[in-house]
């Protein structure tokens, strides 16, 4: 949990929660990362004043916090989710200006992107996985992040 009994809902909040659970200051995280994570940047990230970093930078945080596999995957998936969610929201604004699709766009069933699978359309309904997070769902698009082993 984070601040006032709430659950972490963003990459920054979860980073903050994991750092506190490790008993680390932001300065100690900077030292552990050999200066790759500036404590002031980490503060802005945790407070939501900076947007979610790249997955490469998120991995630096995972290493500095020495997270176990489950927490590392959770934090990296949340970073991916935060980044994809804002891009999808932008797409939904712009899609009205695009010509309509003549047919559904096929997506290879074995297509993967690193730590998470992107499943598009009806394929998402039959997925068996540990956790599926729907990023967006409207009449034409369904985009989900699926955390798998």
Give the N- to C-terminal CA distance of the chain in Å, as an integer.
24
Q: Has residue 15 been placed in a domain?
A: yes
Within a domain: 77: yes
Domain that holds residue 136: 11-147
Determine which helix (DSSP H) or strand (DSSP E) holds 142, and give its type and residue range.
strand 142-147
Q: Which residue has the higher pLDDT, 37 or 103?
A: 37
Is position 142 within any domain? Answer: yes
CATH of the domain at 66: 1.10.260.40
Residue 2: inside a domain, yes or no?
no
87-101 pLDDT, tens digit each = 888 887 887 888 776
Residue 62 is predicted with a pLDDT of 96
Q: Is the pLDDT of residue 109 over 80?
A: no
Q: Is residue 5 part of a domain?
A: no
Tell me the pLDDT band of 145, cut-offs 50, 70 and 90.
low
> Cα-flanking dihedrals φ and ψ of residue 46, to 5°?
-65, -35
In a domain, 131, yes or no: yes
Whether 4 is covered by a domain: the verdict is: no
Which of 39-48, 70-79, 94-103 comes out lowest in average pLDDT? 94-103
Q: What is the pLDDT of residue 82?
A: 83
Residue 3 domain-assigned (yes or no): no
The answer to whether the CB of 52 falls within 8 A of the CB of 11 is yes
**Residue 7 pLDDT greater than 90, yes or no:** no
Domain count, the chain: 1
């Amino acid at each position: 949990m984070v601040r006032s009994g709430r659950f972490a809902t963003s990459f920054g909040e979860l980073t903050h929660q994991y750092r506190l659970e490790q008993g680390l200051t932001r300065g100690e995280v900077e030292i552990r990362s050999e200066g790759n994570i500036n404590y002031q940047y980490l503060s802005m990230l945790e407070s939501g004043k900076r947007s979610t970093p790249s997955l490469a930078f998120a991995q630096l945080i995972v290493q500095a916090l020495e997270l176990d596999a489950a927490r590392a995957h959770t934090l990296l998936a949340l970073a991916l989710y935060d980044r994809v969610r804002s891009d999808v929201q932008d797409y939904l604004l712009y899609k009205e200006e695009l010509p309509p699709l003549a047919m559904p766009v096929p997506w290879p069933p074995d297509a993967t992107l690193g730590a998470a699978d992107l499943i598009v359309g009806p394929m998402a309904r039959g997925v068996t996985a540990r956790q599926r997070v729907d990023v967006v769902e409207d009449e034409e698009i369904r985009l989900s992040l699926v955390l798998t082993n």
